[in-house]
Amino acid sequence: MPKPTGSRTFEQVLAEIERRITASGLTVGDRLPGERQLAEELQVSRSSVREAFRVLETLGLVEVQVGRGPNAGAILSYDPGATLTDLLRLNLRLSSLTMREVVDTRLMIEQWSAAQAARMPAGHDPESSRAMAAALAAMDGAATPEEFVRHDMAFHIALTDRAGNTLNSAIMRALSITLRQYATEAVHRLGHTADLQTDHRLIHSAITAGSAADAATAVAEHLARAYPPIADGREVLPSSA
């Protein structure tokens, strides 16, 4: 792969990892090359490889095990036959869309998902419910905006998963990649995460209480706070776009 340049290096690394997985016929449980090895082979920084692995982990396609030794690294955790290719190609195409289109799509999906999740009976999809609660707690302990946004995205993905629409979940995972840097910049701009966390708790409480209308309203208010230039009608693109 030619040496990538620019702030979107990690996306080119993602595309190369996708190509290698497809070409080598890796299956669930197989281990990907290590961070250092990939960085050397692709002639990129280890931080770019690390970001690519984080994206794949957010998509649920790999499990990243920290540490050293034979158990460290990324393990393929999902069938790459269709999901990996489809989601990553969708993400690369999103770069041609405006932020208003991306945020409006997220609003439509999340409002419906939050309302639908609230309508689900108690005990429905306990894994997604646990993931929402875990992400909420992890955001409280986040030390950096980047860490906060990573758990923020996990919260919203789990919310969408709980609603039970596989296509919506796939789109949300792709959107989360496109919005990651914008969301991080938004946290830097706000200077704190208290208001965003208040929004997350309102969303979570409404879903837990089974209030579909309140859940949908809480999502709309949260996204308006997170993307105020879009809500005000002013077009703002991520600096990395």
Q: Classify the phi-psi angles of 165: left when phi > 0, otherwise alpha if psi is within -120 to 50, otherwise beta.
A: beta
CATH for 9-85? 1.10.10.10
More confident residue, 148 or 18: 148
Cross-strand pairs, 63: 75
Pair of tokens at residue 31? 């281990």
Domain residue ranges of the chain, discontinuous segments joined by +: 9-85, 97-231
Choose among 56, 46, 45: nearest CA to 150: 56
Is residue 94's pLDDT more than 80?
A: no
Q: Do 9-85 and 97-231 show the same overall fold?
A: no
Please name the amino acid found at residue 63: E
123-151 confidence digits (pLDDT tens): 777 888 899 999 999 999 999 898 999 89
| Phi then psi dihedrals of residue 142, to 5 deg | -65, 135
Question: CB-based contacts of 20: which residues, under 8 Å, 6+ apart?
Answer: 33
Is 181 exposed, middle or buried (CB count within 10 Å of its CB: 0-12, 13-18, 19+)? middle
pLDDT digits (tens, 9 = 90+) for 149-175: 989 999 999 999 999 888 888 788 778
* pLDDT for residue 238 is more than 60: no
The residue behind tokens 């919203």 is 156
Cα angle: 60, vertex 131, 169; to 5 degrees? 50
Report the predicted TM-score, pTM, of the whole model to 2 decimal places.
Answer: 0.65
Q: Which residue carries 């957010």 as its tokens?
A: 58
Pick one of 1.20.120.530, 3.40.50.300, 2.60.40.10, 3.30.930.10 as the CATH number of 97-231: 1.20.120.530
**Model pLDDT for residues 177-201, shown as the tens digit of each residue:** 778 777 888 888 888 899 999 999 9
Residues in the chain: 241
φ, ψ dihedrals at 99, nearest 5° = -65, -35
